[in-house]
Structure formats: structure tokens, C-alpha cells
Structure 1
Amino acid sequence: MLNIILFGPPGAGKGTQSQKLVEHYQLEHISTGDLLRSEMAAGTALGKQAQDYMQKGALVPDAVVIGMIESKLKAQTHAKGIIFDGFPRTLAQAQALDELLQAHGQKIACLLSLEVEEGELTKRILERGKTSGRIDDQNEELVKRRVQVYRNETEIVATHYEKQGKLERINGIGEIEEITQKLKTAIDKAAAKS
């Protein structure tokens, strides 16, 4: 299986790029953001708990997210591979994902980190907020806080996979198709090593 992490701060283009990669490589797509939003839309206890954290611009606790990912993984047993979008977000989640995959005889092939500077991220998210309907995309201070949380708490995940020789940094500024091609090149390289 080809398991890939698409990584980067909010607004880096993970959602846009993951759709293209899922289609090209026929991978399953696991987005914690989508999982959390579906729980919130359904009004579940987990969704309400997640909403409280998200409205403050904070990360949802690891145990909650890991439990959701594990049940989603169990449902994807016949997949060619998985692209993880927005997960793992903490070192503990990365370690838990590695252990979970190892228990199933799998591993992460690569972590693709979309690199975008903060001013561009803020601009993109606020623009997305005009059409997404997401409250957390419409408040500039909250957007900046989300990016800062990423810098402080999430970037360490890239270091974790860099130590394993699995990190590929990709410039996330430019034409969408150009960025997609850079990602495909990195994936093909990682797949050849696996």
C-alpha cells in the first residue's frame, strides 16, 4: 500500500491537492477535518466536543482523533493506499499512526509538506471563508491563531518523518497543476523506494 501524508498549515492547499492525488493514484482519502465536520453536522457528542476546540482555534485532543482514524483505517482494508490530509497533527499522533500501520504490516511512504508563507495563508483562508461557510475561515485573528498553533504544535511532525528519511518539502505557491506535478514526482520517488 502507498500511504502518504499531505502536510502543511491551514490554507496551504492540502484539500485541493489531495483531490488530484486521490484521483491520479486511486488512493483513499482520510481528512480529519472532514471527519470532524461530519461529526459536528450530525450533532454527535464527539462533534460537539470537537466544535468547542475548533471554535477556539485549538487542536482536538489526540485520543479523539486517533480513535476516529483507527475506525476509518479498518474500513479501508482493500485500498491501494491512503492519503492522510490534516493528520497527524502532533508527534503523539504521528507515533500512534506509525504503530497502527505497523500492526497492519504497513508504513508511511512519505510526508509531503506544502510550504507557504503566512501572509499568503491568511489571504487564502479569508478568501475561502467567503464561500466555505466555515466560521473559522472568516475571522482574521482566528486564522492567524490557527497558523500559529500549526507552527508551534504541528510542524514537529515533519521533523519526525524527516528523521525517517520520508520528508519532501514542496513549494505550495504557484499554479495548482505545477504544484500537483511536484507532488506526483515526490510520490513516485517515494513509491520506488518502498
Structure 2
Amino acid sequence: MLNIVLFGPPGSGKGTQSKLIQEKFDLIHLSTGDVCREEIKQATPEGLEAKRLIDGGNFFPDKLAYRIVEKFLDSNSQARGFVYDGMPRHEGQIPVFSDMLAKRNGIVDIVVELKVEEEELIQRLLKRGETSGRPDDSGREVIEKRLRIYDDVTAPIAVEYKKMGVYHSVDAMGTTEEVLERISILVESQLSVKSAYAEIQ
């Protein structure tokens, strides 16, 4: 099983690229937000707990998010692999995430950070806000605050994954197809390594 962590700042295209990688390599795109929203929609015990917390204006706890993700992984145990979008979200989640994979005989195989110049990110999000109606894309000040939060909370996970030797930085400037090709080269290389390893076992 191939486990890819894809992360990047708002506007970097990680949602789009995650879905394209899923299609190209026959993987499952695991968006933490999407999985949690589906649990709420289906009114599962976890979904009801999540809805109660959200409706009460409470912070969505890591422990509940991981319970929901583990449930999703177990229901897709025959998958060729996953593209994780939104997990881990900060350094403190890395050990829990690694343990979750280890329980299922998996590891983080490759971590890809999408890099985009800040002004380009701002322009992309402003443009998206013209049609999306999303309040977090509504103005430059709001967007800049989101980018600072990313820099402070999520970007530091790169340090730990560099130590593990699985981190890769990808230039996400250019067309969607160009960025996909850059990521695909890394994924194909990792698939070759896993295939070679499997042959000698």
C-alpha cells in the first residue's frame, strides 16, 4: 500500500492535485474534512458527536478526527493506497498518524509540499472567492491571516518528514498538468522502489 501525504498552503492546489493523483495512480483521496462531513451526513455515532461539538461552537478534537479516519481506512483496507489531504495538520499529529498507519502495516512513503509564491496564492484565492462565496476567500486581510496560520501550524511538519527522508518540495507554479507531472515523477519513483523491495522479500 502506498501512503502519500500532500500538503501546501491555501490556494496551492492540493485538493485538485490530490484528486488527480488518485485518478492517475488508482489511489483513494482521503480528505479529512470530507470524511468527517460524510460521517455527519450519515448520522453515525462519530458524526453525531462531531455535529454536537460543532453546533456547540467547540473545537473539533484530533482524537475524534482520527477515529473517523481510522474507520474510513478500515472500510477501504483493500485499496492500493491513499493520498492524505489535511492530515497530519501539525507536528503533534505526526506520531499518532504514524502509529495509525503502523497498526495497518503501513508507513508514510512520500510527503509532498506544494510551493507557491505568496502573492500568487493571494491572487488565486481572491479569484476563487469571486465565485465560491467562501468567507475565508473574501479579502486580502483574511487570506493573509490564513497563510500565517499555515506557516505557523502546518508548514513545520516538513522538518520532521525531512528527518525521515520522505519529504519532497514541488514547485506548484504553472499549469495543473505541469504540477501533476512533477508530482507524478516522485510517485512513480516511489512505486518502483516499493515494487523492487517486494520482489526481494
Distance 2:52 2:126 in 1: 24
Q: 1:126 maps to what in 2?
A: 126
Answer yes or no: is 1:189 the counterpart of 2:189: yes
1:46 aligned residue (44, 47, 50): 50
Q: How many residues align?
A: 189
Q: 1:85 maps to what in 2?
A: 85
Q: What are the within-5 Å matches in structure 2 for residues 4-153 of structure 1?
A: 4-38=4-38, 44-47=48-51, 49-50=53-54, 52=57, 60-153=60-153
Whether the 8 Å contact between 1:31 and 1:86 is mirrored in structure 2 is yes
> Which sits farther off after the overlay, 23-32 or 68-77?
68-77
Rg larger in structure: 2
Moved over 4 A (4+): 36-45, 50-53
- Structure 2 segments unaligned to the other structure (5+ residues): 195-201
SS in 2 for 1:93: helix
Counterpart of 1:147 in structure 2: which amino acid? L
Whether the 8 Å contact between 2:11 and 2:124 is mirrored in structure 1 is yes
Deviations 1:29-67 (A, max 9, x none): 1112323454677795524645857xxxxx843223222
TM-score by length of 2: 0.84
Distance 2:54 2:161 in 1: 27
Q: How far does residue 117 in structure 1 lie from its aligned partner after superposition?
A: 1.9
Whether the 8 Å contact between 2:50 and 2:60 is mirrored in structure 1 is no
Whether the 8 Å contact between 1:7 and 1:85 is mirrored in structure 2 is yes
Q: 1:56 maps to what in 2?
A: none
SS in 1 for 2:30: strand
Whether the 8 Å contact between 1:6 and 1:14 is mirrored in structure 2 is yes
- Structure 1 segments unaligned to the other structure (5+ residues): 54-58
Distance 2:38 2:115 in 1: 28
Distance 1:15 1:176 in 2: 11
TM-score by length of 1: 0.87
